[in-house]
Amino acid sequence: MRLILLGPPGAGKGTQAKMLKEKFHIPQISTGDILRQSVKDNNELGIKASSFMDVGELVPDDVVIGLIKERIKQVDCETGFILDGFPRTIVQAEKLSETLNEMGLLIDRVVDLEVTAEEVISRLAGRSTCPDCGGMFHEESRPPKVSGICDGCGGVLAQRQDDNSETILKRLDVYQESTAPLKQFYKKQGNLKAVTARGSVEEIFSRVLEMVK
């Protein structure tokens, strides 16, 4: 099973990807994670990526696609994978399709998590994350057992600097301009399924499962 999760910031892509990973025992591939790992490993693509990241520039699509290709070649991806937050533009989607075709692979399902701007603001403004293990919490829907402390590893929770109403609206504008057109791209390919991302995490997950089974 090879999946892509689409949706605006705060739609719950990371949370749903983790639940799919546990359910189907396939890896969750986050471009941020593989970029950091490649830089840490100091391999050829990691060195290239680092040269852009060190000066605050976006890593070129070709380098990111190369990293994803190397990741997909690993043994744990033989039975499938979940792409979380990539592609973000039509150009990236086209390059990803070309790369997968060269590898003899296809994306089985693209799940679009639909959520309103009001809900996104509510979710992100109250969100905190653990910098140590990546655990995510929300002051209303998923508060930690001890305020400010991660349930999983005991790390100190923090709010992202861009999780404020003004910045969130700007991020949503960017999403609508660059990422939302991906819906039409995958709709033409016949593998796009929309899921209403309202309700509890478990309710949303049950809808996602209906779309991927």
More confident residue, 141 or 109: 109
Q: What is the average per-residue pLDDT within 83-111?
A: 93
**Per annotation, catalytic residue among 21, 171, 183, 187:** 171
User: Which of 41-55, 72-86, 131-145, 155-169 holds the top average pLDDT?
Assistant: 72-86
Q: Is residue 13 annotated as a catalytic residue, yes or no? A: yes
Quick one: pLDDT band at residue 56, thresholds 50, 70, 90? low
Residue 163 to residue 45: CA distance in whole angstroms: 31
Q: Is the pLDDT of residue 207 over 90?
A: yes
Q: Answer yes or no: 109 catalytic.
A: no
pLDDT(186) > 90: yes
Q: What whole-number percentage of the chain has pLDDT above 90?
A: 47
For the chain, give the mean pLDDT. Answer: 88
Catalytic residue among 21, 88, 142, 183: 88
Q: What is the pLDDT of residue 24?
A: 94
Point out the catalytic residue in the list 48, 95, 123, 127. Answer: 127
For residue range 79-96, what is the model confidence (pLDDT) as tens digits? Answer: 999 998 889 889 999 999
Instruction: Express each pLDDT in 2-20 by its tens digit.
Output: 999 998 888 889 889 999 9
User: Tokens 């994978």 appear where?
Assistant: 81
pTM to 2 decimal places: 0.79
**pLDDT, average across residues 103-129:** 88
For the record, the structure tokens of 29 come out as 């591939």
Active site residue 2: no
Instruction: For 57-77, write each residue's pLDDT tens digit.
Output: 778 888 889 989 999 999 999
What is the DSSP secondary-structure string of 177-202? IIITTHHHHHHHHT-EEEEE--S-HH
Active site residue 160: yes
Residue 150, pLDDT > 70, answer yes
Q: Do 142 and 136 form a contact (C-beta atoms < 8 A)?
A: yes
User: What pLDDT, on the 0 to 100 scale, is given for residue 162?
Assistant: 67
Round to whole Å and give the CA distance between 138 and 177.
28
Find the mean pLDDT for residues 173-196. 89
167 compared with 98, residue with greater pLDDT: 98
Question: Is residue 207 a contact partner of residue 109, using CB atoms and an 8 Å limit?
Answer: no
* List 2, 13, 95, 207, catalytic entry: 13
Tokens representing residue 143 in the block = 């508060």
Q: Are 67 and 34 in contact (CB under 8 A)?
A: yes
